[in-house]
């Protein structure tokens, strides 16, 4: 059982000179230490008010027991599970699949998957993607998990209607409902009502858990469990991190230290772009999960001012050949958080095929995971020497326990950062206008079709 | 044969008020019009000096003929093609596969692929990814395309050594060389020398074509051609765009207009984050190709100042539930370029399954592609009303011809933007230190092993 370890050294002045934070500000009695203590108080008040349901998720094992039972009873009947869900309703399932199942899970044979189902996530109403997947699968052995907290997300509802009609083509009427599971609000919304009318099984998203904080609710747990991921270990790791972050002293609260450092780097150091760079393909999807969490929680209008850092996902070593040139020499508007993963026990050794070729022979006898980790260390050090701050989170083998801890670390850091920025990290009012305009264009009753401005042809090329 | 159509209206004051550019500045005689004319002159000088090899690629069909012949002769023997290449050596192949082959290409059966091979790109020396793929494939029917212009890229060389040894386990010695194709410099480098010693077939990257500008060289063309993509149409589209951008008048030069507008939005409007948001899953990979092109070309140190916009990939409608909250309400530091794709002819109609449920019934009779396009229009309009500038590139059916035009539009915009920022868009000096430190850690002779600073344990959590 390992825990994520956060290292902030390369964010500080001893490492990066004038571009870093002053350790004295972070130490007890320091300016930022005090600032976090206040933010912590604000978050604790929201916890006490019952707003922060995600903090309870790892502790209530009643839900995970129900999820596990349902997953087990369903799992044996289906070879493909398709999550229909967008944003927070899809990103968690993708992140867990990629991080915790063997690479290329959906391309493995039944035996290699130990007869657990493949897991697909349709997170966009793109007709080509949807059609190609539904065409390819044997829908008689497919389970659709429809995830929408509100029960009315247009993209997900459209996909559900299409999937429902496709399944109806190949199964008997009385079998149809058995191919669907709804994950939605426990009481409200169209999906809930539909489930009751049609006796479709459901799992609930607690009302005080928003979409982007729902990965440890049934939204993330069910898809994980049905593929055999150890959801108890995931919750254990999250619970341990949550328990370790229960005081307002940032020298012991890792999530608080991370939030305070990133907030100060932005608001005092102009480092408004927060890069999360994972040195492992299987954490690529996790960086997208983080992107939504950080962007949608913190990007807010506050009176007349607009605040919020821009999260930027990256993967090492790949992005050393794409984004690192910009990170090294571009504007000093970024701070990088690295995710460091241990090489696997069965690391791939590089053979000595061409001992006489200088550009190749030095690699022989090393292993790929060793090379990847050397690249991470080298990139971190090159940034440091250029006065470019970074933090590193060591996630060891990145197993379910550690990943649970990492999820909670970032979720907690998000609500702390919300308090530091002075915004409500739980709402998303900025997307309402776009939704209303879409409804109007689609002719939903009660929504006006709006006239869009005519373009000036001079500026069309 | 359609061409990308660039619409800049929503970047201008009539659309977004004070946050937009003044159309008079862009019109003939205007400030930005003049600025582009100068940048155009600088780019033409580099073209004349022979630096901009990528501009010639769509016009020289001798290479595409050789590529097509080689692809055809190879194609019939292999069921899997694996590109080993990182950064510009991998992103082009991924972008073309995703954009121009049917969705889920690698999961389709032989017949559905018309017996063209599957196409994999290993763009990271991650041991889990590499091992899982090599384990899963029948290596007797696998072709490895090793792409490295320098012929010494550590990540790619390591993968090559591993792949070579794995193939040697399952094929006879005299057959081994037939499983490899090198794409590298025509004369220099370790791969070139090896190819000659071992009689491995090769294709050349022209010396004046850098990795991130190589998608229309054999680097992108060979993987595309071997999977049946119409590379002549791709080149035709690129050639047409190149021909349409041969003068210094930005009212007729689309690439110039795009570059000038984005540069001004950054340097005069503080919009340093350039979002490329594609409303189609199959252009998701294209946005990553763009990210490398824009980031690595423009992120540079210039005397004492650090310049370069930060490209940010996004996909609609998915990112409406992840990033759009930040784009709408966060800092005014972004400009969004939308990629608009027509719904397919066989769009997926949304059936009227629940006519009595208000949250679903309005969708019935519409189609998924129609919904996706309505979401794009709604998001564009919501941003406009919030004074958030955007541009839109309409790519119609996004076929090979249009995609070729889109590639050239962005490549040209990149070198124009390089001239506007006053940087060399063709080099990447910022990644050298990281490479040297990696060599040192891996014990390559001639590179010092460096001592890294010891962390202060107080800042490890």
pLDDT, tens digit (0-9, with 9 covering 90-100), for B106-129:
999 999 999 999 999 999 999 999
Do B283 and B254 fall into the same domain? yes
Do B412 and B278 fall into the same domain? yes
Where is the domain boundary, A198, A229, A260? Answer: A229
**Residue among B292, B322, B348 whose CB faces A87 most closely:** B322
ipTM (interface predicted TM): 0.98
Could you tell me which residues come within 8 angstroms of residue B427 by beta carbon, excluding any fewer than 6 positions away? Answer: none
Put simply, whether A246 touches B (Cβ < 8 Å) is no
User: Average pLDDT for residues A116-139, to the nearest whole number?
Assistant: 97
Do B415 and B447 fall into the same domain? no
User: Average pLDDT for residues A430-445, to the nearest whole number?
Assistant: 96
Put simply, whether B451 touches A (Cβ < 8 Å) is no
Tell me the per-residue pLDDT of A263-321, one tens digit each, with 9 for 90 and over.
999 999 999 999 999 999 999 999 999 999 999 999 999 999 999 999 999 999 999 99
> Which pLDDT score, from 0 to 100, does residue A292 have?
98
> Which pLDDT score, from 0 to 100, does residue B33 have?
98
Q: What is d(CA A207, CA A225) in angstroms, rounded to the nearest whole number?
A: 22
**Residue among A14, A368, A437 whose CB faces B127 most closely:** A368
Q: Is B435 a catalytic residue?
A: yes
Q: Is B398 exposed, middle or buried (0-12, 13-18, 19+ CB in 10 A)?
A: buried
Q: What is d(CA A394, CA B268) in angstroms, rounded to the nearest whole number?
A: 40
Determine the residue among A125, A279, A300 to mutate to test chain B binding: the one whose Cβ has the most chain B Cβ atoms within 10 Å: A125
Cβ contact A269:A309 at 8 Å: no
Annotate A155-224 with DSSP letters as a single string.
HHHHHHHHHHHHHHHHS-HHHHGGGEEEEE-SS-SHHHHHHHHHT--EEE--TT--GGG-TTSHHHHHHH
Cβ contact A276:A312 at 8 Å: yes
Main-chain phi, psi angles of B149, to 5 degrees: -65, -45
| A118 pLDDT higher than 80 | yes
Is residue A427 domain-resident? no
| B103 pLDDT higher than 80 | yes
Cβ separation of B299 and A357 shorter than 8 Å? Answer: no
> Which pLDDT score, from 0 to 100, does residue B2 have?
78
Tell me the per-residue pLDDT of B7-42, one tens digit each, with 9 for 90 and over.
999 999 999 999 999 999 999 999 999 999 999 999
Tokens 């002045």, residue? A13
Where is the domain boundary, A178, A208, A229? Answer: A229
Q: Is B366 a catalytic residue?
A: no
Query: What is chain B's mean pLDDT, rounded?
Result: 97
Cβ separation of B323 and A360 shorter than 8 Å? Answer: no
Chain A / chain B CB contacts < 8 angstroms: 475
Nearest chain A Cα distance for residue B93, angstroms: 14
Put simply, whether B408 touches A (Cβ < 8 Å) is no
C-alpha distances (whole Å) from B280 to each of A336, B187, B212, B285, B380 are 29, 40, 23, 10, 15
> Which pLDDT score, from 0 to 100, does residue A406 have?
98
Cβ separation of A127 and B369 shorter than 8 Å? Answer: yes
**Residue among A351, A437, A442 whose CB faces B162 most closely:** A351
Put simply, whether B357 touches A (Cβ < 8 Å) is yes
User: Average pLDDT for residues B431-441, to the nearest whole number?
Assistant: 96
Give me the sign of the Cα torsion angle A58, A62, A65, A69.
Answer: negative
Among A272, A274, A307, CA closest to A418: A307
User: Average pLDDT for residues A154-182, to the nearest whole number?
Assistant: 97
Could you give the strand order of the β-sheet that contains B5-7, starting from the edge strand earlier in sequence? B5-7, B390-394, B334-340, B273-278, B310-315
CB under 8 Å, gap of 24 or more: what pairs does B40-48 form?
A: B40/B247, B40/B248, B40/B253, B40/B256, B40/B416, B40/B419, B41/B248, B42/B419, B43/B415, B43/B416, B43/B418, B43/B419, B44/B248, B46/B415
Find the closest chain A residue to B326 by CA distance: A299
Is residue B73 domain-resident? yes
Dihedral class, residue A305 (left if φ above 0, else alpha if ψ from -120 to 50, else beta): beta
Nearest chain A Cα distance for residue B54, angstroms: 18
> Which pLDDT score, from 0 to 100, does residue A197 have?
94
Confidence of residue B58 (pLDDT cuts 50, 70, 90): very high
| A230 pLDDT higher than 70 | yes
Is residue A426 domain-resident? no
Nearest chain A Cα distance for residue B244, angstroms: 10
- The structure tokens listed for A122 are 């349709």
Give the HSE-up count for residue B210: Cα atoms under 13 Å, Cβ half-sphere. Answer: 19
* DSSP secondary structure code for residue B304 in this structure: T
User: Average pLDDT for residues A389-418, to the nearest whole number?
Assistant: 98
Do B406 and B437 fall into the same domain? no
> Which pLDDT score, from 0 to 100, does residue A66 have?
97
Is residue A445 domain-resident? yes
Is residue A436 domain-resident? yes
> Which pLDDT score, from 0 to 100, does residue B364 have?
96
Q: Is A149 a catalytic residue?
A: no
> Which pLDDT score, from 0 to 100, does residue A318 have?
98
Do B149 and B244 fall into the same domain? no
Cβ separation of B460 and A344 shorter than 8 Å? Answer: no
Do A239 and A324 fall into the same domain? yes
Do B249 and B388 fall into the same domain? yes
> Which pLDDT score, from 0 to 100, does residue A2 have?
79
Cβ separation of B431 and A301 shorter than 8 Å? Answer: no
Main-chain phi, psi angles of A142, to 5 degrees: -115, 135
Do B415 and B287 fall into the same domain? yes
Put simply, whether B397 touches A (Cβ < 8 Å) is no
Catalytic, out of B98, B155, B296, B411 = B296
Tell me the per-residue pLDDT of B127-149, one tens digit each, with 9 for 90 and over.
999 999 999 999 999 999 999 99
Structural domain range at position B215: 55-229
- The structure tokens listed for A77 are 């009947």
Give the HSE-up count for residue B212: Cα atoms under 13 Å, Cβ half-sphere. Answer: 28
| A259 pLDDT higher than 70 | yes
Put simply, whether B2 touches A (Cβ < 8 Å) is no
Distance of CA A461 to the CA centre of its chain: 38
Q: Which residue has the higher pLDDT, B445 or B2?
A: B445
- The structure tokens listed for A226 are 């049905």
Predicted TM-score (pTM) of the model is: 0.98
Is residue B93 domain-resident? yes
> Which pLDDT score, from 0 to 100, does residue B1 have?
62
User: Average pLDDT for residues B385-399, to the nearest whole number?
Assistant: 97
Catalytic, out of A296, A300, A401, A411 = A296
Do A276 and A346 fall into the same domain? yes
Do A82 and A44 fall into the same domain? no
**Residue among A26, A164, A324 whose CB faces B431 most closely:** A324
Cβ separation of A353 and B444 shorter than 8 Å? Answer: no
Put simply, whether A243 touches B (Cβ < 8 Å) is no
Do A203 and A341 fall into the same domain? no
Tell me the per-residue pLDDT of A62-104, one tens digit each, with 9 for 90 and over.
999 999 999 999 878 899 999 999 999 999 999 999 999 999 9
Is residue B426 domain-resident? no
User: Average pLDDT for residues B72-83, to the nearest whole number?
Assistant: 92
Cβ separation of A460 and B6 shorter than 8 Å? Answer: yes
Is residue B322 domain-resident? yes
Do A28 and A144 fall into the same domain? no
Cβ contact A149:A89 at 8 Å: yes
- The structure tokens listed for B146 are 């090793």
Q: Which residues of B touch A450 (CB under 8 A)?
A: 381
**Residue among A107, A130, A348 whose CB faces B107 most closely:** A107
Tell me the per-residue pLDDT of B35-51, one tens digit each, with 9 for 90 and over.
999 999 999 999 999 99
Q: Is A455 exposed, middle or buried (0-12, 13-18, 19+ CB in 10 A)?
A: middle
Tell me the per-residue pLDDT of A184-227, one tens digit each, with 9 for 90 and over.
999 999 999 999 999 999 999 999 999 999 999 999 999 999 99
CATH number at residue B290: 3.40.50.10490
Where is the domain boundary, B202, B229, B256? Answer: B229
Q: Taking a contact as any Cβ pair under 8 Å apart, which residues of chain A between 300 and 339 contact chain B?
A: 300-301, 306-308, 310, 312, 315-318, 320-334
- How many domains does one find in chain A? 3
Cβ contact A335:A275 at 8 Å: yes
């Amino acid at each position: 059982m390992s825990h994520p370890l956060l290292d902030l050294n390369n964010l500080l002045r001893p490492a990066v000179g004038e571009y870093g934070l002053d350790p004295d500000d972070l130490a007890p009695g320091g300016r930022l230490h005090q600032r976090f203590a206040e933010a912590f108080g604000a978050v604790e008040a929201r916890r006490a008010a019952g707003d922060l349901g995600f903090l309870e998720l790892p502790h209530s094992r009643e839900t995970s027991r129900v999820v596990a039972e349902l997953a087990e009873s369903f799992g044996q009947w289906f070879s493909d599970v398709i999550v229909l869900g967008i944003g927070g309703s899809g990103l968690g399932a993708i992140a867990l699949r990629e991080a915790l199942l063997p690479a290329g899970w959906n391309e493995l044979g039944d035996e290699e998957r130990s007869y657990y189902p493949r897991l697909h996530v349709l997170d966009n109403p793109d007709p080509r993607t949807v059609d190609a997947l539904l065409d390819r699968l044997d829908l008689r052995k497919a389970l659709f998990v429809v995830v929408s907290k509100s029960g009315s997300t247009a993209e997900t509802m459209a996909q559900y209607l299409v999937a429902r009609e496709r399944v109806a083509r190949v199964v008997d009427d009385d079998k149809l409902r058995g191919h669907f599971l709804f994950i939605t609000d426990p009481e409200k919304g169209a999906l809930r009502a539909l489930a009751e009318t049609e006796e479709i099984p459901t799992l609930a998203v607690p009302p005080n858990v928003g979409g982007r904080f729902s990965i440890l609710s049934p939204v993330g747990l069910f898809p994980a469990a049905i593929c055999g991921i150890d959801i108890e270990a995931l919750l254990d790791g999250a619970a341990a991190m949550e328990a370790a972050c229960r005081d307002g002293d940032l020298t012991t609260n890792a999530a608080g230290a991370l939030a305070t450092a990133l907030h100060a780097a932005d608001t005092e150091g102009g480092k408004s772009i927060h890069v999360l760079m994972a040195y492992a393909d299987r954490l690529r999807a996790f960086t997208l999960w983080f992107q939504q969490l950080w962007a949608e929680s913190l990007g807010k209008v506050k009176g007349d001012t607009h605040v919020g850092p821009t999260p930027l996902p990256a993967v090492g070593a790949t992005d050393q050949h794409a984004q690192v040139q910009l990170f090294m020499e571009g504007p000093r508007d970024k701070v990088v958080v690295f995710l460091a993963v241990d090489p696997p026990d069965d690391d791939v050794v590089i053979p000595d095929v061409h001992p006489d070729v200088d550009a190749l022979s030095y690699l022989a006898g090393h292993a790929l995971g060793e090379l990847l980790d050397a690249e991470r260390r080298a990139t971190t050090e090159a940034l440091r020497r250029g006065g470019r701050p970074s933090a590193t989170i060591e996630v060891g083998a990145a197993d379910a326990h550690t990943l649970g801890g990492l999820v909670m670390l970032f979720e907690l850091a998000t609500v702390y950062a919300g308090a530091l920025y002075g915004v409500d990290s739980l709402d998303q009012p900025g997307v309402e206008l776009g939704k209303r305009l879409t409804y109007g264009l689609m002719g939903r009753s009660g929504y006006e079709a709006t006239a869009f401005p005519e373009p000036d042809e001079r500026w069309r090329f």
